[in-house]
Structure 1
Amino acid sequence: MTEFHFVKSSYSSTSGECIEVALNIPGTIAVQDSKSTGGAVLHLTPAAWAAFTAGFGRAARR
């Protein structure tokens, strides 16, 4: 299996509360907690990731 190459979110806070995302595997978006890089990895489809991230824009407008 190919290894995920995680990148820390550009919206990360200075207190370290953030996620890391890997986009290097076709058909899979991998997400992990940056404070627990050896922990669980959430695997999402591109459609699920798009729906998840679309909610950020709506939440910011409230």
Structure 2
Amino acid sequence: MDVSRLSWRKSSFSGTNGGDCVEVAELPDGGRAVRDSKAPEGPVLRFTQSEWVAFTVGVRAGEFD
């Protein structure tokens, strides 16, 4: 998949941590792709829809604090 064609959006928390920014794009199958906004040509993490839901539920519950 050509990730350059995805519609990337920055995290709403970007810029609040001294430039530690991530971008997220929705994949055609409902999953998500995540990359470092400072290195858009670098590696991309891909999550299935169920993995992304589990991750966001964990974030909201404070599991990663």
| Alignment TM class, shorter chain as reference | 0.7 to 0.9
Q: Which residue of 1 aligns with 2:57?
A: 54
Identity %: 43
Residue by residue over 1:22-49, the C-alpha shift from the partner in whole angstroms, topping out at 9 and shown as x without a partner, is: 01x3213110011211100111111100
In structure 1, the gaps of 5 or more residues are none
RMSD after superposition:
2.0
Structure with greater strand share of residues = 1
Structure 2-normalised TM-score?
Answer: 0.75
What amino acid does structure 2 have at the position aligned with 1:58? A
Size of the aligned set, in residue pairs, is: 60
Q: Please tell me whether the aligned partners of residues 18 and 33 of structure 1 are also in contact (alpha carbons under 8 angstroms).
A: yes
> Does the Cα contact within 8 Å between 1:8 and 1:19 map onto a contact in 2?
yes
1:34 paired with 2:47, answer: no
Gap runs ≥5 in structure 2: none
TM-score (norm 1): 0.78
Q: Are the equivalent residues in 2 in contact too, given 1:19–1:34 (CA < 8 A)? A: yes
